[in-house]
Amino acid sequence: MRRLLLAVVALGLVSVWGLTPGLADAGITGGSFIDVPKSHPAYSSVQNLLTRGILVPTASGQFMGDQPLLRYDAAVWLDRAIKNIEAKISAATDLTPRLTSLENQMRSLSSDLSTLRADISTLSARVNALQQSVGQGGEVAQKAQLGVVLGLTGVILGLAALVWVIFF
């Protein structure tokens, strides 16, 4: 008797649960509708809308695609779709993190620019100093060249005088 009672209860639970698979996920996004076969041309669209929370199964887990669409139902579906889109746009258009990043980059660039200005000023002073040094070096080179020319002239004249004294 006990076995028979357990078997009846088990069959009852299996039949209730098996015949109404939509009850397990009624009102929850995801899952599937029991009355939309995978072979139906609209299956992927219906599944997509179900996954996004725009369509919600009835308490029995059905979509009832053959029933006429009431304006109330259409309003609810459109409202869910618009809220879904607005949430995505809102998340995508929050520019605060990007603006903060750009501000930080601008501060860094400004600091780098100031450093570059100081470096250019230092380099300009060094170039001016080098130009002055080269200018003075040019005078030194001219003096050295003149000294070499005068020295060679003196040597040549000295040798000429020595030759004159020896041979004449």
Q: Are residues 142 and 76 in the same domain?
A: no
pLDDT of residue 10: 44
Mean pLDDT of the chain: 77
Residue 46 domain-assigned (yes or no): yes
Spatial separation of the C-alpha atoms in residues 10 and 79, rounded to whole Å: 42
pTM for the whole thing? 0.39
Structural domain of 33 = 8-91
pLDDT of residue 31: 67
Q: Are residues 81 and 28 in the same domain?
A: yes
pLDDT of residue 87: 85
Residue 25 domain-assigned (yes or no): yes
CB 21, CB 28: distance < 8 Å: no
Q: Are residues 86 and 34 in the same domain?
A: yes
Spatial separation of the C-alpha atoms in residues 103 and 97, rounded to whole Å: 10
Residue 109 domain-assigned (yes or no): no
Which residue, 94, 99, 32, 92, is CA-closest to 61? 32
Residue 38 DSSP code:
T
Question: For 15-60, what is each residue's pLDDT tens digit?
Answer: 444 444 443 334 444 467 889 999 999 999 999 999 988 898 888 8
Residue 165 domain-assigned (yes or no): yes
